[in-house]
Amino acid sequence: MHACIHRGATQIGGSCVELEHEGQRLIIDLGLPLDAPDNSRERLPASLDLNGLAPCAVVVSHPHQDHYGLLHHLPSGIPVVMGKAARRIVQAAAPFTGQVLPGLEGPELVDRVPLQVGPFRITPFLVDHSAYDAYALMVEAGGRRIFYSGDFRGHGRKSALLDRLLAAPPSPIHALLMEGTSLGRNEESPAYPTESELEAELTTCCRDTAGLVMVHASAQNIDRVVTLFRAAKKSGRTLVIDLYAAAILEAAGGKRLPQSDWEGVALYVPFRQRLQIKRQGCFDLLARHQSKRIYAEALAADPGRYALLFRPLHSNDLERAACLKGAAYVYSQWQGYWESGSYDDLKNWLEAQGIPRHSIHTSGHADVPTLRRFVTGLAPERLVPIHSFNPQEFSGLYDKVEWHADGERWAV
């Protein structure tokens, strides 16, 4: 079996790995780079050939666009292997994000259930990550094993999955492709806060705030939505979600995940989203989720009763409805987005409204101690860096590191 990292050897996002055995190809992830200006075919990795021998399948580790965002450039008929809930999330997000919906037909990943695709035996391992239904993947062919970590962490609401994997790791592993997102970020503390610690902080924020609490987090960060719901419930507030969040939570499908018809949850549809619904014809979706719909008047009448899963498209509605007296804004995303200029308009809006910014967040990726624990526990013959801007720092995690450049073909 041979491997090639088409993209990801020295960057975060846009991941794409190819495995080859007996003249057949398997692609793992086909992501859109985080800094890509568009979603055109030109964003495909330069070394990836989609015009020659078609791959027997593409396996998607989890439903983040930097791992699946270029799927729509695949030739028709290539199976897409991914988790059942992940597939539904990609489908549910498309009308709201503008992502081109690719063909998604193919087998499903099920935790620890091996799947044969051509000469490749794929065993998925459900992992803790900010994306729901995320998997690490062990691929076997020709008597060799490669383990692809995908994106993972050990401080979320599914941290027990990491303990379970490391308690009885597969062996042998001939090559481990492990993400290293956190390497080189120079955080003050090497260990990241847990979702439970965030829940306590958000609960305090909700109790100490007289007005509306606006928590700016991704609706696809299911752990964070659960954290906010629990904090709202503890502080006597109702969690307010929009239709996009309602659709994502419905698609995730977990029985313990908040839904639009739960006690303690309300649906508010901002004006810009109402335009999206009309443009996309999502009236059936709205009908399914509007049993607890509220309007701006309710938010204005008693803003201290609510905690809003906030997005910038809410800002004009909240200002017009006079909902912002005594409000708090909580930023709960990666700091890099804030510093890149993506939210400059939001910064100006918050300043104009006199609303201070609080930061309550933790990473969707493993901290350095967890990376070291992961590679030590799996004990691979060699560690191959991927999904990091600082691959040289992998040498501080393990004594058997082997670097491979994008586009380089190497034997597993």
Q: Are 336 and 302 in contact (CB under 8 A)?
A: no
Query: In this predicted model, what pLDDT tens digit does every residue of 324-362 receive, in sequence order?
Result: 999 999 999 988 888 888 899 999 999 999 999 999 999
Structural tokens at position 354:
């006199």
Q: Are 201 and 409 in contact (CB under 8 A)?
A: no
Q: 242-261 b/e with 16+ CB inside 10 Å = b?
A: bbbbbbbbbbbeeeebbbbe
DSSP E strands in 258-327: the ranges are: 265-267, 306-310
**pLDDT attached to residue 190:** 75
Query: In this predicted model, what pLDDT tens digit does every residue of 151-185 receive, in sequence order?
Result: 999 999 999 999 999 999 999 999 999 999 999 87
374/162 Cα distance (integer angstroms): 8
Structural tokens at position 29:
């992830």
220/20 Cα distance (integer angstroms): 33
**pLDDT attached to residue 81:** 98
% of the chain residues with pLDDT over 90 = 89
- Mean per-residue pLDDT, 225-251: 98
**pLDDT attached to residue 187:** 55
> Which ranges of 21-172 does DSSP label H, i.e. alpha helix?
65-68, 84-97, 160-167
Q: Which residue bears the tokens 């042998």?
A: 172
> Which ranges of 329-391 does DSSP label H, i.e. alpha helix?
335-339, 344-353, 368-378
DSSP H or E run through 296: helix 296-301
Residue 18 φ/ψ region, left for φ over 0, alpha for ψ in the -120 to 50 degree band, beta for the rest? beta
DSSP E strands in 242-353: the ranges are: 265-267, 306-310, 328-331
Q: Are 411 and 21 in contact (CB under 8 A)?
A: no
Per-domain residue ranges of the chain: 2-186+364-411, 195-359
Within 10 A of 135 (CB to CB), how many other CB atoms are there?
30
Please, what is the average pLDDT of the chain?
A: 95
CATH superfamily for 2-186+364-411 is: Ribonuclease Z/Hydroxyacylglutathione hydrolase-like (3.60.15.10)
266 vs 254, more confident = 266
Structural tokens at position 389:
């801007």
- 3-state SS, residue 314: helix
CATH code assigned to 195-359 = 3.40.50.10710
Query: In this predicted model, what pLDDT tens digit does every residue of 361-411 receive, in sequence order?
Result: 999 999 999 999 999 999 999 999 999 999 999 999 999 999 999 999 999
What pairing do the DSSP bridges indicate for beta strands 2-7 and 409-411? antiparallel
Using pLDDT thresholds of 50, 70 and 90, give the confidence band for residue 80. very high
- Mean per-residue pLDDT, 298-317: 96
